[in-house]
């Protein structure tokens, strides 16, 4: 992938998109990025720091949405500059594309918005890499059209992310056929190991999750041949302002990645 500052691309490893669900503040973002970079450098895993500058898709009206757009984007830029890391954030409206592109290296299209043509084209027109999350309501094959929209304006730096399929019963199911089906578009494919374990639309208004299965999803994805993994992580889940129920505790990330690197080596051997 032609993404600035993406290191270790010749290692043969999967790449990792990881960080907190949302940008909660400068210190916590720098803390997380520092710890993950040390791990990924040692394991030679290409790493992209992630964090949402705004959380637009919330169940409850009073859920945390962010610390302010520019404030959060400036923190993302500082993380990238401080650790020489590419950064990624999701956008929800066409006007967000040009704004966010000034601060990050990759623009992400949320799953619920993957069919929004104007949003996809606006992201592509910035010239930044674009990660499109597969809608929970779509097959892997249907994402061909999202790739076409990005490429229609001459942007070929695109990858796709699976995050499970929903059947409307406050749960998600991962169909690993989606990985090779999306790879048929000649693009890297990522498995979102944390959002795919969400249990949305709970009666409490707070999304639930099954974080104990993160390792299971990650291992299976690497075994199937996923090019990258997406993992939301936080050092203190009790303090996390978004998606605490399905994030991986940061102190468990290193051990998990060590196992996954071994699986990757076995798969490509």
Task: Please give the Cα distance from 114 to 268 (Å, whole number).
Answer: 31
The HSE-up count of residue 59 (CA atoms within 13 Å, CB side) is 14
| Helices 253-268 and 214-224, axial angle in degrees (round to 10) | 20
CATH topology for the 16-264 domain? TIM Barrel (3.20.20)
Q: What is the pLDDT of residue 59?
A: 61
Beta-carbon contacts of residue 244 (< 8 Å; ≥ 6 apart): 234, 237, 238
Sign of CA dihedral 217, 211, 164, 21: negative
Q: What pLDDT shows up at residue 205?
A: 46
50 forms beta bridges with 88
Angle at 136 between CA 130 and CA 140, to 5 degrees: 65
Residue 166's pLDDT is what? 85
Q: What is the DSSP letter of 237?
A: G
- Which pLDDT value is given to residue 209? 64
Half-sphere exposure of 147 (CA within 13 A, CB side): 20
Predicted pLDDT at 216: 95
pLDDT of residue 18: 98
End-to-end CA distance of the chain: 22
* Nearest-angstrom CA–CA distance, 150 and 122: 9
- How far is residue 222's CA from residue 264's CA, in Å, rounded to a whole number? 6
Q: What whole-number distance in Å separates Cα of residue 73 and Cα of residue 15?
A: 23
By the 8 A CB rule, do 231 and 214 touch?
A: yes
Please report, for residues 34, 99, 180, 266, the alpha-carbon distance to residue 76 in angstroms, rounded to integers and kept in the order given. 13, 13, 32, 35
Residue 228 near residue 217 (C-beta atoms within 8 A):
no
What is the rounded distance in angstroms from the CA atom of residue 231 to the CA atom of residue 48? 11
Q: Would you state the pLDDT for residue 207?
A: 52
Residue 259's pLDDT is 98
Per the CB < 8 A criterion, the answer to whether 78 and 26 are in contact is yes
Q: pLDDT tens digits for the chain (269 residues)?
A: 789 899 999 899 999 999 999 999 999 999 999 999 999 999 999 999 999 999 877 666 667 778 999 999 999 999 999 999 999 999 999 999 999 999 999 999 999 999 999 999 999 999 999 999 999 999 999 999 999 999 999 999 999 999 999 876 677 889 999 999 999 999 999 999 998 887 655 444 445 567 789 999 999 999 999 999 999 999 998 888 877 778 899 999 999 999 999 999 999 87
Q: What is the pLDDT of residue 154?
A: 97
The CA-atom distances, in angstroms, between 61 and each of 65, 199, 205, 241 are 9, 18, 9, 14
């Amino acid at each position: 992938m032609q993404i600035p500052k993406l290191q270790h691309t010749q290692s043969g490893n999967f790449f990792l998109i990881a960080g907190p669900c949302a940008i909660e503040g400068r210190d916590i973002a720098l803390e997380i990025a520092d710890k993950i970079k040390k791990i990924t450098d040692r394991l030679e895993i290409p790493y992209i720091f992630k964090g949402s500058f705004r959380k637009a898709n919330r169940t409850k009206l009073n859920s945390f949405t962010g610390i302010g757009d520019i404030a959060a984007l400036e923190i993302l830029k500082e993380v990238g500059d401080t650790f020489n890391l590419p950064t990624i954030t999701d956008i929800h409206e066409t006007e967000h594309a040009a704004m966010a592109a000034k601060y990050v290296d990759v623009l992400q299209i949320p799953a619920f918005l993957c069919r929004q043509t104007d949003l996809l084209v606006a992201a592509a027109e910035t010239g930044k890499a674009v990660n499109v999350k597969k809608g929970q309501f779509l097959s892997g094959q249907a994402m061909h059209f999202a790739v076409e929209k990005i490429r229609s304006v001459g942007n070929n730096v695109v990858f796709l992310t699976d995050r499970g399929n929903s059947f409307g019963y406050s749960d998600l199911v991962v169909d690993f056929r989606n990985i090779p089906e999306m790879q048929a578009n000649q693009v890297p494919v990522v498995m979102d190991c944390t959002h795919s374990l969400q249990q949305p639309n709970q009666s409490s208004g707070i999304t639930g999750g099954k974080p104990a299965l993160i390792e299971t999803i990650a291992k299976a994805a690497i075994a199937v041949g996923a090019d990258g993994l997406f993992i939301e992580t936080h050092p203190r889940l009790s303090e996390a302002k978004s998606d605490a129920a399905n994030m991986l505790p940061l102190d468990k990330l290193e051990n998990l990645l060590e196992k996954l690197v071994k699986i990757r080596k076995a798969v490509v051997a």
